[in-house]
C-alpha cells in the first residue's frame, strides 16, 4: 500500500484559475511534508514545506496541513502555463536519524492558456 | 541556486554490462541520495549516504547496486550486472545536514536504457 497517496492523478485548469492538489498519508510517523514540482526533463524542485497544522502561504501557493487526518493540500491561485508540471507530495518521519523522503505518485497539472 | 550535476544525461547499455552513474552534489552538502523514477511517475528511494557509509537503503537497492564517493570526486551509483528492469531515470540528490526538515536538491537525472 502506498504510504503517500495523491489525488487527482491529473488536473487541468484554465490560466488564471485555482488548482487544488491533495495528499494523504497512511503512516502517522510522517511529520514533515513537502511539495516538489518537476518540469519535463528536470529533477524535482522543492516548492514549499509545511510542518505545522494550518495554512502556509508563499506567493500564489498555499499549503494546508491537518496532522490529525494526515492530509496535506496545495492550492495554486492565478495559475500560469509555467505552473504546468508534475507535482509531488513528499513526507519524512519524526523518528530515525536520516532524511529519507517518501514521495506520492504525483499529480500532473496542465494549465490551459 | 545550488545545483546538483549528473553525468551522463542518457546512458544506453546492453543487459549484463556494468554502468556507473555520476553525481556532483552541492559543494557543502554532507548527505547524498539516489532515487529511481520509472516512466515519469513516482520517485522511489534507493539509498542515502553519509561520511562514506550507506545509512539506509530500500528493497530496490539490490545486491548488484553499490554507491561510493571517493574523496574529492563524484558520488556514484554502480550497477553490476545490469538487468532490463533497471531501465529508469536515476536522480541524485543532496542535502546539507540530512535533517528531516531540510529540502533535498535534485539533479536533472540520468536516463538509463538497458537493452
Q: From residue A61, how far is each of A5, A48, A52, A91, B97 by CA, in Å?
A: 20, 8, 16, 18, 27
B32/B28 Cα distance (integer angstroms): 11
pLDDT at site A12: 98
Of A46, A86, A93, the CB nearest to B100: A93
Helices and strands of chain A, counted as H and E runs: 0, 11
A81/A7 Cα distance (integer angstroms): 20
Question: Angle B59-B4-B77 (CA atoms, 0-180°, nearest 5)?
Answer: 35
- Best probe of the A interface among B6, B50, B103, by most A CBs < 10 A, is B103
User: A 19-78 residues with CB below 8 A of B?
Assistant: 31-32, 34, 40-46, 49, 51
Using only C-alpha atoms, chain B has a radius of gyration, in whole angstroms, of 13
Q: Over 80: is that where the pLDDT of A1 sits?
A: no
Residues of A in contact with B93 (CB under 8 A): 43
pLDDT at site A37: 97
Q: Over 70: is that where the pLDDT of A14 sits?
A: yes
Collapsing DSSP states into helix, strand and coil, what is residue B109?
coil
Question: B34-57 pLDDT, tens per residue?
Answer: 999 998 788 999 999 999 999 999
pLDDT at site A109: 98
pLDDT at site B26: 95
Tell me whether residue A40 is exposed, middle or buried, using C-beta atoms within 10 angstroms of its C-beta: 0 to 12, 13 to 18, 19 or more.
exposed
Instruction: Please indicate if any CB of chain B lies within 8 Å of the CB of A97.
Output: yes
Question: A61-99 pLDDT, tens per residue?
Answer: 999 999 999 999 999 999 999 999 999 999 988 565 567
Question: B68-106 pLDDT, tens per residue?
Answer: 998 778 999 999 999 999 999 999 999 998 888 899 999
Question: A34-56 pLDDT, tens per residue?
Answer: 999 999 999 999 999 999 999 99
End-to-end CA distance of chain B: 36
Of B93, B100, B106, the CB nearest to A32: B100
By CA distance, what is B10's nearest residue in A?
A41
Instruction: Using the CB atoms, write b or e for B68-95: b if 16+ within 10 Å.
Output: ebeeeebbbbebeebeeebbbbbbbbbb
Q: From residue B45, how far is each of A37, A67, A80, A100, B90 by CA, in Å?
A: 17, 24, 31, 8, 10
Question: B10-36 pLDDT, tens per residue?
Answer: 999 999 999 999 999 999 999 999 999
Of B31, B41, B107, the CB nearest to A99: B31
Nearest Cα neighbor of A43 from B115, B26, B96, B43 is: B43
pLDDT at site A99: 77
Nearest Cα neighbor of A63 from A30, A27, A28, A21 is: A21
Tell me the three cell numbers of residue A113. 492558456
Q: Do A98 and B56 touch (CB under 8 A)?
A: yes
Amino acid at each position: 500500500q502506498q504510504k503517500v497517496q495523491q489525488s487527482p492523478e491529473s488536473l487541468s485548469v484554465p490560466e488564471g484559475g485555482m488548482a487544488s492538489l491533495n495528499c494523504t498519508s497512511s503512516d502517522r510517523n510522517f511529520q514533515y511534508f513537502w511539495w516538489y514540482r518537476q518540469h519535463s526533463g528536470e529533477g524535482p524542485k522543492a516548492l514549499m514545506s509545511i510542518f505545522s497544522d494550518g495554512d502556509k502561504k508563499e506567493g500564489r501557493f498555499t499549503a494546508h496541513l491537518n496532522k490529525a487526518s494526515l492530509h496535506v493540500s496545495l492550492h495554486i491561485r492565478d495559475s500560469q502555463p509555467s505552473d504546468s508540471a508534475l507535482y509531488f507530495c513528499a513526507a519524512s518521519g519524526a523518528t530515525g536519524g536520516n532524511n529519507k523522503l517518501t514521495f506520492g505518485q504525483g499529480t500532473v497539472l496542465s494549465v490551459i492558456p | 541556486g545550488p545545483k546538483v550535476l549528473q553525468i551522463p544525461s542518457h546512458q544506453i547499455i546492453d543487459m549484463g554490462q556494468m554502468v556507473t552513474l555520476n553525481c556532483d552534489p552541492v559543494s557543502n552538502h554532507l548527505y547524498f541520495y539516489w532515487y529511481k523514477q520509472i516512466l515519469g511517475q513516482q520517485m522511489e528511494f534507493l539509498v542515502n549516504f553519509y561520511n562514506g557509509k550507506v545509512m539506509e537503503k530500500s528493497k530496490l537497492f539490490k545486491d548488484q547496486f553499490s554507491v561510493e564517493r571517493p574523496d574529492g570526486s563524484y558520488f556514484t551509483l554502480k550497477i553490476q550486472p545490469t538487468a532490463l528492469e533497471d531501465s529508469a531515470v536515476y536522480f541524485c540528490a543532496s542535502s546539507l545536514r540530512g535533517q528531516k526538515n531540510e529540502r533535498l536538491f535534485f539533479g536533472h537525472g540520468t536516463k538509463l536504457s538497458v537493452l
